[in-house]
Amino acid sequence: MKVFINKRIPETGVEILKQAGLQITLPENENLSYEEWLEYCQNADVILSIGGDFKYDKAFFEACPNIKAIALYSVGFDHVDIQEANQRNIPIGNTPDVLSRATSDVAFLLMQSVARRASYNFQKVKEGNWGAFDPLHALGQELYGKTLGIFGLGRIGYQMAEKCRKAFDMEIIYHNRSHKEEAETELGAKYVSFDELIRNSDVLSIHANFTPEHKDLFNYSVFEKMNPNAIFINTARGGFQNEQDLYRALTERKIWGAGLDVTNPEPMSADSPLLELSDVCVLPHIGSATIEAREGMARLAAENIVAFSNGDKMPYCANPEVYAEHS
């Protein structure tokens, strides 16, 4: 079975594939054009897909009828048309759990960085612009006892809530597709409507899976309902926020600050006006960028492929219904 890997991954995953006797193709130049990428896919049975540069949509599946399975090097699968995959009996693997702690760490980092205007003050140091002591300049805010609102209380959201509860004794509210009994029992989390979430959160952190109906969900009409001292955090997908509206809300003081590990578009333009604001911190999508998380992702992606090659179900599958539909 031929496996195409579009970018280098930790050797942990490669070794698992080699030990299973699979034939691996890895391009010398990883910055592939769409046409080059498609040609590699057309010569493979399975794809280990890193990044979301290209879409696995109807046009892709029609151009690559040879593809039997796709193992994503990510938790999210918004760049895959799951319905099309299901119709073709193609399982889509993903890598849950192993990056929950690392990604929640980044959300926690962004929250604190924004609260204390760390990026802005670090830039002043780099520019040699400490200035004279000013008791009123670029003041931050403390997080103790504030209310954390979680949009999408899955594994990563739970980790973020737990950190905030333990570190700052924050109250936890959340909006989710369903109630999370563990969070309510262990963290005292309270399920609220979306409107209550945006009105009552001092920090609002997004941890939901992105779907087309979520596009620009956090727009000006939402931001203007938030607490003027609220901090907006997104480590999920940039499509959740309308960044022109976010900039307007920040400059009009509808909200206090924003921390983004994902942007819309991504990568963010170096000329984005958001980068000029003292109460904004932006990171280049590093949520899972730890040695431990990336090695874990490589292991899970490889295990998905090996299981498939052995005729077994993928242990970490984003569309498990594909097995029920064709059992």
Catalytic: which of 175, 285, 294, 299?
285
d(CA 125, CA 243): 27
Asked if 106 and 235 touch (Cβ cutoff 8 Å), the reply is: yes
Query: Six-digit token pair at 8?
Result: 């280098």
* 266 carries an active-site annotation: yes
* 117 carries an active-site annotation: no
Asked if 130 and 107 touch (Cβ cutoff 8 Å), the reply is: no
Catalytic: which of 237, 243, 294, 299?
237
d(CA 141, CA 116): 6
Catalytic: which of 84, 196, 266, 295?
266
Three-state secondary structure of the chain: CEEEECCCCCHHHHHHHHHCCCEEECCCCCCCCHHHHHHHHHCCCEEEECCCCCCECHHHHHHCCCCCEEEECCCCCCCECHHHHHHCCCCEECCCCCCHHHHHHHHHHHHHHHHCCHHHHHHHHHCCCCCCCCCCCCCCCCCCCCEEEEECCCHHHHHHHHHHHHHHCCEEEEECCCCCHHHHHHHCCEECCHHHHHHHCCEEEECCCCCHHHCCCECHHHHCCCCCCCEEEECCCHHHECHHHHHHHHHCCCCCEEEECCCCCCCCCCCCHHHHCCCEEECCCCCCCCHHHHHHHHHHHHHHHHHHHCCCCCCCECCCHHHHHCC
Closest CA to 259 of 151, 270, 145, 278: 278
d(CA 174, CA 166): 17
- The residue type at 269: S
* 207 carries an active-site annotation: no
User: Which residue numbers are catalytic?
Assistant: 237, 266, 285
